Amino acid sequence: MDLRADCSRCSGLCCVLLPFHASWGFDADKEGGAPCHNLLADDGCRIHDRLRPSGWPGCVAYDCFGAGQHITQVTYGGASWRDLDDLGEMGAVLSTVRQLHEMRWLLREADRRAPGSGAEELDQKIGALTSGTPVELLTLDIDELHERTGDLLRSVSTALRGPGRPELARQDLAGQDLRTADLRAADLRGCTLIAADLRGADLSATDLLGADLRDADLRGARLDAALFLTQPQVSAAIGDPSTTLDERLVRPAHWSG
């Protein structure tokens, strides 16, 4: 299955199984296992074409990396959440498979940028695990897989960025004006960059693994060669037509103007 979300092959799992709160970028509070009030009978979304202006930027920023359609079509053999009694189990499986798919997304980038790094082999191993039953998926040692993936990505990042570059991992840079900072090949993994001003920034070879880019201003920024940037990060940020992106990433609709 593809590592990109395809809602047409899913049964609206994220709209039902996941909890959310208004403070997270949603216009209402919802418990896990309860259908969102915007979910239609055909599992479509009543406001999908206007989520951000309707007060649901959290939905725009969320991406399951294809876990939703995988669980619907493969793990549960085409069954909808409406057909099952244990939505708690299904929600836990969604969380697990999403993590596995995100690891695979990052490992594929690592293999593309650093062939022979071992990323391809680990990607294939994790891929084989995703075909398991719900019980098999929920009994995986997910922490061990995260550790192995993290170590490999860190090794690739270090080799690609080279020595002497800014080491800013996990720093709180929220709201800061970073337009004049030289962030090329910097280590920004895990940084808080909420509402940071990165207009025109060159982030080539910059490690953005896990960086919080909610409302970060990336208008005119160069992101096409950034390391380990994912769709949820892009969708949560602010960009424009001049912001460059890697071809694997989809330009958000709210960047059009």
Q: What is the pLDDT of residues 70-100, one digit of tens each?
A: 999 999 999 999 999 899 999 999 999 999 9
Give the pLDDT of residue 166. Answer: 95
Q: How confident is the model at residue 138 (pLDDT cuts 50, 70, 90)?
A: very high
How many Cα atoms occupy the beta-carbon half-sphere of 239 within 13 Å? 23
How far apart, in whole angstroms, are the C-alpha atoms of residue 125 and residue 213?
30
If one looks up domain 164-257 in CATH, what number appears? 2.160.20.80
Q: Please give the share of the chain, as a percent, with pLDDT higher than 90.
A: 95
Instruction: List, for residues 146-200, the tens digit of each pLDDT value.
Output: 999 999 999 999 999 999 999 999 999 999 999 999 999 999 999 999 999 999 9
Give the pLDDT of residue 257. Answer: 65
How far apart, in whole angstroms, are the C-alpha atoms of residue 134 and residue 130?
10
How far apart, in whole angstroms, are the C-alpha atoms of residue 245 and residue 116?
25
How far apart, in whole angstroms, are the C-alpha atoms of residue 154 and residue 151?
5
For tokens 């395809």, the residue is 6
DSSP line for 105-158: HHHHHHHHHSTTSSHHHHHHHHHHHTTS-HHHHHTS-HHHHHHHHHHHHHHHHH
Q: Please give the share of the chain, as a percent, with pLDDT higher than 70.
A: 99
Report the mean per-residue pLDDT for the chain.
96
Q: Domain extents for the chain? A: 7-160, 164-257
Structure tokens at 148: 């192995």
- With a CB cutoff of 8 Å and minimum separation 6, the contacts of 256 are 241
How far apart, in whole angstroms, are the C-alpha atoms of residue 97 and residue 4?
13
Give the pLDDT of residue 1. Answer: 47
Direct distance between the N- and C-terminal alpha carbons of the chain, in angstroms, rounded to an integer: 33
Q: Find, among 176, 177, 224, 174, the residue nearest to 203 by Cα.
A: 224
Instruction: List, for residues 21-71, the tens digit of each pLDDT value.
Output: 988 889 899 999 999 999 999 999 999 999 999 999 999 999 999 999 999
